[in-house]
């Protein structure tokens, strides 16, 4: 399993465990979607806390190894799995809280943004943001929509163009997270906040969440196949493959 799951009083705590940086591999994405579906269907669960089992990193985002040197069918399968996780998280009937206990760039930030509330550990190394442009990649429209819904149009435009990664104080100021707390209080704060959200009658809260988020989800659902084709076409370009290979090579050298 690429994550750990513990349960207490109707709350599931899901910890990403895909060392070293919790990259969103096809396997991890598939396992998460299946587990979330099971929790949704089990009416005893009303809330999920998403966090990391890997020191210093929440999730580094998309697994570039799934996007480099593979065939178009694999790219399509991978992107469909990324879409599926976002769709499953963004309009989940459960209360989702991100307990961000490490760096959260790109896809890691996206997962955080799908949650109802975000708690970030106060550590200057734990930056969060959609930094795709720094890798020569363009964030898809539904990544953009999720960020705009959270921090507003102008702040999102600036953040996306510059590929900004916000340290805790700035992340709180711009509204990409809701609370910054000392590192050893992230889990307890997430549980405390969860109590406040679960105090609201489920039916009213779920309908309100759906009203706020469904138009964003509908945009992707209507264009899902076209979005997959765009991704496959983009990632298959020689220039993109070359830049991904260079980046992966740099990561290998860093580890070495």
- For residue 92, the domain's CATH number is 3.90.226.10
* Residue 112 and residue 104 in contact, taking contact as beta carbons nearer than 8 Å: yes
Examine residue 256 and state whether it is found in any structural domain, yes or no: no
Per-residue pLDDT reduced to its tens digit, 222-233: 999 999 999 999
* Residue 77, pLDDT above cutoff 70: yes
Q: Domain span at residue 86?
A: 3-199
Residue 183 falls in the annotated catalytic set = no
Examine residue 152 and state whether it is found in any structural domain, yes or no: yes
Among the listed residues 102, 113, 132, 220, the single catalytic one is 132
Examine residue 239 and state whether it is found in any structural domain, yes or no: no
Examine residue 41 and state whether it is found in any structural domain, yes or no: yes
Residue 9 falls in the annotated catalytic set = no
Residue 62 falls in the annotated catalytic set = yes
Over residues 29-57, mean pLDDT? 94
Among the listed residues 66, 129, 131, 147, the single catalytic one is 131
Predicted TM-score (pTM) of the model is 0.94
Examine residue 235 and state whether it is found in any structural domain, yes or no: no
Among the listed residues 47, 61, 102, 107, the single catalytic one is 107
What is the per-residue pLDDT for 228?
A: 98
Q: Total structural domains in the chain?
A: 1
Higher pLDDT, 126 or 251: 126
* Residue 2, pLDDT above cutoff 70: no
Q: In terms of C-beta density within 10 A (0-12 exposed, 13-18 middle, 19 or more buried), how is residue 106 classed?
A: buried
* Residue 92 and residue 210 in contact, taking contact as beta carbons nearer than 8 Å: no
Among the listed residues 62, 120, 130, 191, the single catalytic one is 62
């Amino acid at each position: 399993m690429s994550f750990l799951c513990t349960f207490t009083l109707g709350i599931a705590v899901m910890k990403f465990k895909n060392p070293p940086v919790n990259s969103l591999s096809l396997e991890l994405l598939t396992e998460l979607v299946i587990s979330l579906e099971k929790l949704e269907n089990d009416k005893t669960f009303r809330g999920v806390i998403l966090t990391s089992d890997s020191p210093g990193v929440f999730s580094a985002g998309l697994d570039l190894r799934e996007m480099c040197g593979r065939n178009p069918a694999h790219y399509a399968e991978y992107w469909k799995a990324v879409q599926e996780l976002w769709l499953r998280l963004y309009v989940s009937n459960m209360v989702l809280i991100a307990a961000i206990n490490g760096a959260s760039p790109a896809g890691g930030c996206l997962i955080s943004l799908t949650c109802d509330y975000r708690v970030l550990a106060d550590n200057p190394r734990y930056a969060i943001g959609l930094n795709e442009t720094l890798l020569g990649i363009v964030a898809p429209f539904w990544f953009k929509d999720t960020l705009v819904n959270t921090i507003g149009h102008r702040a999102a435009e600036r953040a996306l163009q510059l590929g900004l990664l916000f340290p805790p104080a700035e992340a709180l100021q711009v509204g990409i997270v809701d609370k910054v707390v000392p590192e050893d209080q992230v889990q307890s704060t997430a549980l405390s906040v969860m109590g406040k959200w679960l105090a609201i009658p489920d039916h009213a809260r779920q309908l309100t969440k759906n009203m706020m988020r469904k138009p964003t989800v509908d945009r992707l659902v209507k264009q899902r196949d076209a979005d997959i084709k765009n991704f496959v076409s983009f990632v298959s370009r020689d220039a993109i493959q070359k830049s991904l290979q260079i980046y992966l090579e740099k990561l290998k050298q860093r580890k070495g």
